[in-house]
Amino acid sequence: MEQHIVKLQSVTPVTHDVKRFRVEKPEGYAFSPGQATEVAINKPGWENERRPFTFTSLNTDPYLEFTIKGYHDHDGVTHQLHQLSEGDELIIHDVWGAIAYKGRGYFIAGGAGITPFLAILRQLRKDDKLLGNTLFFANKTAADVICEDELRDMLGAEAHFILSKEEKTGYGHARIDQTFLKQHVADFDQYFYVCGPDPMIAEINKHLEELGAKTEVLVFEK
C-alpha cells in the first residue's frame, strides 16, 4: 500500500471552521480532479487514524492541497489537524475516488462537500471549459460558505448559494429538495455531480431520478 510522509508547507484559514493545508508533493504522485486519499497525522497515537480528504489542488501544482473543516466538539482527527502548523507532518496513502468530470451539468454541494468540486472547477477554468456548468451550494449560514469569492469569480451568475439557517441578500434561502430542483434545473439529461453528507446525497439523487434524471448521469462517491 502506498504511503508517504509529507511536511506541511502552509496552513491558512478559509472560513471560521475551515483551513487550507498545503503539503509537499511526493515525486510521481498523481491524481485526477475530484479524487481523494486517506490522511493521518504523523504524531504518536495518530499515525493509524486515517480519514478521507479530497485534493483541492490541481495535479499540475507542485504541492498537494486539502481544504478541511474542523469538528471541534470532540478530539478527533480534524480537530488535531487544525492544531498543526508549518513543518508538521502528515501521512498520505493511495489515490481513490469515483467523482470525475464527465461533461457539462449541475454541481450540487452541501458544506464541505464542495471540496471535490473545487479541484474540478479549478481545472475547468484552467482549461477554459467552465461554460455551461451550474453550482448549487448549500450551507447553514453565509459565514460557512467555503471559497465563496473564488466560486463567484469562476461561475458568475451560475454560482448559487443557498442558506438554510439565514436569510441574506445575495443568497437563496431554501432546502435543495424536489421543489427546488424542479424550479431551478432546466435539463435533467445533463450530468449531476452531488457531494455532501450521505443522507443529502441519497435524498437529492432520489429527487433527481423522480424528476427524470437517468442513473448514469448521477456522479457521486458510492
Contact call for residues 217 and 190 (beta carbons, < 8 A): yes
User: For a pLDDT cut of 70, what percent of the chain falls above it?
Assistant: 100
Nearest by Cα to 119 from 194, 36, 29, 191: 36
DSSP 8-class letter at 122:
H
- Cα 104 versus chain centre, distance: 18
The domain 4-96 is placed in CATH, from the list 2.40.30.10, 1.10.940.10, 1.10.1520.10, 3.40.50.10490, at 2.40.30.10
Distance (Å, rounded) from C-alpha 55 to C-alpha 81?
15
Q: Residue range 209-218: average pLDDT?
A: 97
For residue 64, give the C-alpha cell: 498537494
Q: At residue 57, does pLDDT exceed 90?
A: yes
Tens-digit pLDDT profile for residues 12-22:
999 999 999 99
Q: What is the mean pLDDT of the chain?
A: 97
For residue 87, give the C-alpha cell: 513543518
The domain 105-219 is placed in CATH, from the list 2.60.40.10, 3.40.50.80, 3.40.50.300, 3.30.410.40, at 3.40.50.80
Q: Say what the pLDDT of residue 222 is.
A: 82
Backbone angles phi, psi at 14, to 5 degrees: -110, -45
